[in-house]
Amino acid sequence: MKKAIPYLALALLVVACNNSKEKENPNKSEEQMNNTENPLLSESTLPYGAPDFSKIKDEHFMPAMLKGIEKQKKAVEAIANSKEEPTFDNTVLALEKSSELLSRSSQIFYALAGSNTNETLQAVEEEMAPKFAAQSDMIYLNENLFKRFKTLYDKKESLNLDAESLKLLENYYEDFEIAGANLSSEDKEKLKEYNEKIATLTTKFGKTLLDANNAGAVTFTNKEDLAGVDEDFLKSKESKDGKGWTIPLQNTTQQPLLQSMENRASREKLFKAAWHRSDQGANDTREIIKQLVEVRAQKAKLLGFNNYAEWSLQKTMAKTPENVNKFFSGLIPAATAKAQAESNEIQKMIKAKGQDFKLEPWDWNYYAEMVRKEKYDLDENQIKPYFELNNVLEKGVFYAANKLYGITYKERTDIPTYQEDVKVYELFEENGDQLGLFYTDYFARPSKSGGAWMDNFVTQSKLYNKKPVIYNVLNIPKPAGNEPALLTYDEVETMFHEFGHALHGFFASQQYPSLSGTAVARDFVEFPSQFNENWALYPDVLKNYAIHYKTGKQIPQELIDKIKNSGTFNQGYSLTENLAGSNLDMQWHTISADKKIEDVNAFENEALNKTKLDVVHAVPPRYRSTYFSHIFAGGYAAGYYSYSWTEMLHHDAYNWFETHGGLTRENGQRFRDMVLSRGNTLNLEKMYKDWRGSDPKIEPMLKARGLK
């Protein structure tokens, strides 16, 4: 996932309180604002301008971001009220430069707010959310500023701009129109109210869900209840008093441990804890959801659209909800049919084991694993010893990048991090030139949001002579003591996935930061990351990193064959749960402003029934509405479909690689030059077609999923 800073969801700006006194007086004093007191107010002196976490404290964020807002406001006022004729330099470039301080401080803040938060940062996040929304409105609803951009846009062909500068002008102008620049003054004020409320509600949802995830952790006091669970994992979850084991919740509906838990009652307990984590008590998110979808629908209506999805999809590859639904209609029948066949197989396995009960969602992974062992003779516990975290990263993820793009690395232990488990690597081009810094934050903890994502501490741009500083965040269970971290194959793929996002950022070669790297449409941004997953199983790569952590032996070909042969296993389930989540998202965001939702659970059930995604009883949506952070706290509202959309792109792209020699430097360089390095400087459909030689086809995706 490419994580979006909340207030940047509309391409705002350039990128994309440690004590009670901070809460009482967030503005602090002039002394507090002094650069020598607050490291965020000036550029870091560390290599690449990386954040100096040895100096940054919680109380620095609020003053720095407020100062950034203040500086940008003054800059915008100067641009908008200038008596000079608008030019690219005094209008477009001036706006592009206006948020340097705000971007620097907010990028670091949101990195910590997502991966290492605390009560102080949560309070700052809640207080800043409406301020950032107001800042966006201050820019995009500024009538005089828009007039200057419109003047330039209307004569853009005569400005003799280079291609990227022209794209920057067009990008800003489109954002003005999408944001409501053509509304009346009265409607602009109403829109500002909507935007502030949306910002507040999304922040509240994220905070409530984090609390729900932590509060929903399940404690077992009888070890027999955890029969089948890996002993090393249990050691890492044992309570300090030694009287129980606490299992934290992952952000998805299904929980990884359900695959190995032998006790059916324990499986049901863990599943239901995940299912109901945020629909009851203090951490109930349903009221937030109702308010949020209502205000989003009202905003869309004000802007002249039938629903929020219509408004939101304007700058995407899909363009309209109808196109998204058409794409779904080509997948749902095949996905649910395969899921039903898988369900039937699992039900037979239950009977074969002498059991007599109807397959439920909490049974699926446990008995599916039995089916997999029987059909493919593959046990997850057989392969985990070959997937030690450091080997996967350095001999797998980095190795593939070297073979494709010539990238090399070295670990940097001299650069401070924000948490003890975070590592820093410096990456280099094939010729030894510096490429950027890469931070890995892989282990789960209570202060971290669920899921996995990539983002920038520093965004590449030639304008500021900046090379990228990028981080990847995952939620892998941390092993006890000095035990090695052994990964599931899903976790291996996730590491490759997130580094695919990182490569998209590292290879950026843009003049302007707001067009750099991953600053592309949601239904394209997941393409480079999903494409990079393909190298996890590529023979040359797999044999290099899949080394048994005890014996040092390479993974045997027999196991490799089993992994590959089981590649289409459970794909009906996987695609159906994903499509269920995607359709829930689209249903929530195609609600008209006139419709009021009374019952979140009833709406969810109706939405799944209407799209025939509930026909297989034991396949729940990947995310239930009440903990669907992508769409209610992140930047994927009306955009979760993009994971399936970009899956089509990545399988089609890998098909090109397969027919052109696979993992070669020549192929990697061509892909880098024509796709990964282009950022948002070209029409995305044309960019893909120019590289591929044709429009993307869905057949490779269906084949990879075993649906064709």
Dig out the tokens for 377 from the structure. 């003779």
**Residue 148: half-sphere exposure toward Cβ, Cα within 13 Å:** 26
SS3 105: helix
Give the burial class of 471: count Cβ atoms within 10 A of its Cβ; 0-12 exposed, 13-18 middle, 19 or more buried. buried
How many CB atoms are located within 10 Å of the residue 3 CB?
23
How many CB atoms are located within 10 Å of the residue 201 CB?
23
Whether the Cβ atoms of residue 209 and residue 627 lie closer than 8 Å to each other: yes
How far does the chain reach from its first CA to its final CA, in angstroms? 27
Q: What is the DSSP letter of 472?
A: E
Give the burial class of 516: count Cβ atoms within 10 A of its Cβ; 0-12 exposed, 13-18 middle, 19 or more buried. buried
CA 206/CA 110 separation, integer angstroms: 12
Residue 701 φ then ψ, to 5°: -70, -45
With vertex at residue 597, the alpha carbon angle to CA 591 and CA 602, rounded to the nearest 5 degrees, is: 105
Residue type, 453: W
CA 608/CA 695 separation, integer angstroms: 31
Question: Which of these, 302, 296, 307, 311, lies nearest to 183 by C-alpha position?
Answer: 302
Number of residues in the chain: 708
Whether the Cβ atoms of residue 426 and residue 580 lie closer than 8 Å to each other: no
SS3 35: coil
CA 342/CA 706 separation, integer angstroms: 12
Whether the Cβ atoms of residue 307 and residue 585 lie closer than 8 Å to each other: no
E strand or H helix at 9: none
How many CB atoms are located within 10 Å of the residue 513 CB?
28
SS3 137: helix
Give the burial class of 651: count Cβ atoms within 10 A of its Cβ; 0-12 exposed, 13-18 middle, 19 or more buried. buried
Question: Which of these, 15, 6, 1, lies nearest to 469 by C-alpha position?
Answer: 15
Pairing between β-strand 218-220 and β-strand 245-247 as defined by DSSP bridges: antiparallel
Pairing between β-strand 469-476 and β-strand 453-458 as defined by DSSP bridges: antiparallel
SS3 627: helix
Beta partners for 456? 470
Q: What is the DSSP letter of 223?
A: G
Whether the Cβ atoms of residue 698 and residue 648 lie closer than 8 Å to each other: yes
Residues designated as active site: 498
Whether the Cβ atoms of residue 48 and residue 137 lie closer than 8 Å to each other: no
CA 420/CA 411 separation, integer angstroms: 15
- The DSSP code sequence of 142-169 is -HHHHHHHHHHHHTGGGS---HHHHHHH
Question: Which of these, 535, 524, 530, lies nearest to 687 by C-alpha position?
Answer: 524
Whether the Cβ atoms of residue 690 and residue 642 lie closer than 8 Å to each other: no
CA 304/CA 315 separation, integer angstroms: 16
Residue 424 φ then ψ, to 5°: -125, 135
For residues 211-227, b (16+ Cβ closer than 10 Å) or e, as one string? ebbeebebebeeeebbe
